[in-house]
Structure 1
């Protein structure tokens, strides 16, 4: 079968690789190259890198809606399926009607919960115990199409967004293959989403990462692991921004000021919250690499009694 793949970030790479192994991927559509890093040099997307390695034609429209020549190219290819995994653009009805069978989307949540961008981050920030992947037929709305197949995974209490990302990207790739084969053979009955159960999530901004020590330890712990590895949760130690990458929750009675550092040792930094303490085990200061607290305090000082803000 002929496939056109549309995707951009690392999450989409396992799905593209699976398609290349099993089908004839005629073209890859991905977002334009973006400035990256301190030097702001143009960098290609992870999906583009794989496509070029496999000699697959790559197209990078700024907007499919505003550049009709790309839509004409899709019509020339005559794909059996268009597969979309975190592409970053909304497809028009004209594009949705091009493939012989369907436009299929791979979404990293158990729909109809967590429609929209960054479902992996928000599921952990919100303390969910389960997540998963849903394949669906694409429709006009944002993640509103009929569902095809689902797979679930448990979210451990200390799992980070980065770890969940890697799990779901691999699960999503296999689910995609199963979906294409079963849909082509008429073995899947598309299921409408219950809009009353739907939840929408907003895009992630760096401001979300500022820690409010007036929250309880579990909520702060969820924020920190949900923003690991990006954009990272942070607080202010004296006059410096201190990013916090890993924590553990310690049950304890409330002893006073939220944000108060009550102990510093090789095990970590104990910080007071309104319910329970946090043991911070991995930190990062501006211009420095991520370090364990044990390694950091071997050559630097974190003062007990300081109040983080």
Structure 2
């Protein structure tokens, strides 16, 4: 049971494991996507079609017939990864071994929808994957297996997602091997250490240049590729602010003590990047994308938008 790319990687690992048979794949219904609003299958569905597996796409599990159809498969175990649907107790009770979830954090930290982004946003050095026995709560079940991994200072939500998906694939196979051999232990979560990783909102992509450069860097990394980091630039204060989307950059040198630029000031090119003043340092971004325009590197933006402002 899964939907996006993270789940597809986990499913691919299961497909290569001789110790289990996949009797069906559950994924969310095809969704309209793009300007033409053409219905697009999930990454999990695309992979399942290639394998010729039975695919089911219920809207939810509120219907008794939907639950009965799942029960008729007589699964030994349900494996869940980024499915996106709530599983009621009637579903969790179907398989003798219940349902186990591949979660992209070290539970009980970052329960919820956006654990990868929240870990980066918080400036954490480590995160990981937890294989969890599902219960009726939100990521509150017993821990079956967990592995930690380092978060590089330049990791984005995209790169960390890929690392954790690969780790999740390896870990689910190990969990199934342990289950088969009777070596899978259950450890209750420490509720006193639980945190919640709320779903991202588009507005969270806005950068606050009055914050230290490290915090700006963390937000830019956490918001890449969605919803994207952005800010509003209005150097003369007389025109409509221009929305600029930025890709994650790097932390630059400290601001000068004298003639210190105000936060949010684009001072120009520095080492092939646009240097933007934060509370303590410059933040160096390789490119910006003005609203409705193509992305521009530092030189193009300086020669174009900034030169017009100087004129």
Where does structure 2 lack aligned partners over 5 or more consecutive residues?
A: 235-240
Distance 1:155 1:72 in 2: 42
Distance 1:157 1:9 in 2: 25
Does residue 35 in structure 1 map to residue 32 in structure 2?
yes
> Secondary structure of the equivalent of 2:72?
helix
TM-score (norm 2): 0.91
1:112-191 alignment runs, 5 A limit: 112-191=108-187
TM-score (norm 1): 0.92
For residues 163-215 of structure 1, give each alpha carbon's deviation from its aligned partner in whole angstroms, at most 9, with x where no partner exists.
00000000100100000110232102100000000001211010000111111
Does residue 95 in structure 1 map to residue 91 in structure 2?
yes
Which residue of structure 1 aligns with residue 276 of structure 2? 271
Root-mean-square deviation (Å)? 1.8
Distance 2:135 2:8 in 1: 23
For residue 19 of structure 1, the aligned residue among 11, 14, 31 is 14
Which residue of structure 2 aligns with residue 258 of structure 1? 263
Report the alpha carbon displacement of residue 266 of structure 1 after superposing the two structures with TM. 6.1
Contact 2:268–2:302 under 8 Å retained in 1: no
Distance 1:126 1:304 in 2: 38
Structure with more of its chain in strand, by fraction: 1
Which residue of structure 2 aligns with residue 55 of structure 1? 52
Distance 2:275 2:284 in 1: 5
Contact 1:248–1:280 under 8 Å retained in 2: yes
Distance 1:304 1:213 in 2: 23
Report the alpha carbon displacement of residue 263 of structure 1 after superposing the two structures with TM. 2.3
Distance 1:259 1:282 in 2: 15
Which residue of structure 2 aligns with residue 3 of structure 1? none
For residues 101-160 of structure 1, give each alpha carbon's deviation from its aligned partner in whole angstroms, at most 9, with x where no partner exists.
231100000111000001001110111100110001001100000001111111111111
Report the more deviating stretch, 173-182 or 20-29.
20-29
Which residue of structure 2 aligns with residue 82 of structure 1? 78
Contact 1:264–1:302 under 8 Å retained in 2: no
For residues 204-253 of structure 1, give each alpha carbon's deviation from its aligned partner in whole angstroms, at most 9, with x where no partner exists.
01000011111111101100011111110101133321111121112414
Report the more deviating stretch, 230-239 or 83-92.
230-239
Relative to 1, partners in 2 of residues 1:302 and 1:246: Cα closer, same or farther, differing over 3 Å?
farther
Relative to 1, partners in 2 of residues 1:54 and 1:291: Cα closer, same or farther, differing over 3 Å?
farther
For residue 237 of structure 1, the aligned residue among 225, 233, 238 is 233
Distance 2:8 2:128 in 1: 17
Relative to 1, partners in 2 of residues 1:266 and 1:301: Cα closer, same or farther, differing over 3 Å?
farther
Contact 1:31–1:87 under 8 Å retained in 2: yes
Where does structure 1 lack aligned partners over 5 or more consecutive residues?
A: 1-5
